[in-house]
Amino acid sequence: MDELIENLKKDFSGDTSYLSGVNDGMYHLLRSLEKTVEKAKKWDELDAKIADFYLEDESKETGDLCDIGEICAMKFGYHSTLFKN
């Protein structure tokens, strides 16, 4: 998928004034697809971090829901000091 996006970006990079109709739609679709892939990667990273809190071995202390919430908030761009008392 990444290779396909990179190839499409090369095809549509630079001056886009010549694009019209279907080609213009493809250009905007490509940009939208690129943003969607970036968001999906961030969600996958967040999923991996949260999964660390739910280990099979419950004897290890991994944190609580507040820690998970703070990780999520930071991933969305909120500064962690907002959550400290």
Q: Do 32 and 6 share a domain, yes or no? A: yes
- The reply to whether the predicted model has a pTM over 0.85 is no
If 0-12 CB within 10 Å is exposed, 13-18 middle and 19+ buried, where does residue 49 land? middle
* pLDDT tens-digit series, residues 3-16: 766 666 666 666 65
Residue-level pLDDT at 64: 84
Find out whether 43 and 18 touch, Cβ atoms under 8 Å.
no
* pLDDT tens-digit series, residues 27-85: 788 889 989 999 999 899 999 888 888 876 666 677 888 888 888 888 888 875 655 54
Please spell the DSSP secondary structure of 18-29, one letter per residue: T--THHHHHHHH
Q: Do 38 and 62 share a domain, yes or no? A: no
Domain range for 59 is 52-85
Angle between helices 22-51 and 2-12 (to 10 degrees): 150
The reply to whether 47 falls in a domain is: no
The reply to whether 73 falls in a domain is: yes
Number of domains in the chain: 2
